[in-house]
């Protein structure tokens, strides 16, 4: 069995997940993991499967044939290494441009990998404005002290006027 990762994006409608999973199953594939969401009427997903190499071309053809869906496939590295340590980040504050840009820049400068990220804007309970919320799972590189990362991110959070929590373990 060979590993394959594919992304799919297109107008959302009922049955997309069924069509994707049916194409995988009908062509010798085994669905392993995925992340999928609906955004502003668009479906977006990333899926990791294993498949029988002898049926690869038929599998690719079946995925590409799904109506109104753009599917891109790639073969991942042989090993999917896990980070030495993971931490969770929770952030909330009044929405304004640049929040994710400044936080992600600080993470990249310290070789911290964003393993998962979820962001959203919600109504502020009292003011009627928008609150920006983010939650992330971060993979820390060897040798990075969590306290150093916390200190730096808390300084950025103060400049951005957002609340930020960084917690060990997931």
Mean pLDDT of 17-39: 96
Chain centre to alpha carbon of residue 97: 20
Reported confidence tier of residue 82, pLDDT bands at 50, 70, 90 = confident
User: Is there a contact between 150 and 87 (Cβ–Cβ < 8 Å)?
Assistant: no
Cα–Cα nearest to 54, from 2, 122, 115:
2
Reported confidence tier of residue 137, pLDDT bands at 50, 70, 90 = very high
Residue 128's pLDDT is what? 76
The 10s digit of each residue's pLDDT in 106-129 is 999 999 999 999 999 999 887 778
33 CB burial (10 A radius; 0-12, 13-18, 19+):
exposed
Structural domains present in the chain: 2-74 (3.30.70.260), 85-168 (3.30.70.260)
The 10s digit of each residue's pLDDT in 60-77 is 999 999 999 999 999 887
pTM of the complete model: 0.83
Residue 77's pLDDT is what? 77
Residue, of 169 and 18, whose pLDDT is higher:
18
User: Is there a contact between 130 and 94 (Cβ–Cβ < 8 Å)?
Assistant: yes
20 has pLDDT over 60: yes
Cα–Cα nearest to 24, from 97, 73, 90:
73
Two tokens at 15?
A: 């049955």
Residue 170's pLDDT is what? 52
């Amino acid at each position: 069995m060979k590993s394959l990762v594919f992304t799919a994006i297109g107008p959302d409608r009922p049955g997309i997940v069924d069509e994707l999973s049916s194409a995988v199953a009908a062509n010798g594939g085994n669905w392993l993991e995925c992340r999928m969401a609906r955004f502003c009427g668009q479906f977006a997903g990333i899926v990791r499967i294993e498949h029988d190499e002898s049926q690869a071309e038929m599998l690719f053809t079946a995925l590409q044939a799904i109506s109104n869906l753009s599917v891109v496939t790639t073969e991942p590295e042989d090993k999917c290494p896990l980070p030495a340590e993971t931490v969770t980040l929770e952030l909330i504050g009044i929405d304004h441009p640049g929040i994710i840009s400044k936080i992600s820049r600080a993470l990249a400068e310290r070789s911290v990998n964003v393993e998962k990220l979820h962001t959203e804007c919600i109504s502020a309970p009292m003011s009627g404005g928008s609150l920006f919320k983010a939650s992330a799972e971060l993979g820390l590189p060897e040798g990075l002290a969590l306290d150093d990362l916390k200190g730096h991110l808390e300084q950025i959070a103060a400049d951005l006027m957002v609340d930020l929590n960084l917690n060990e373990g997931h």
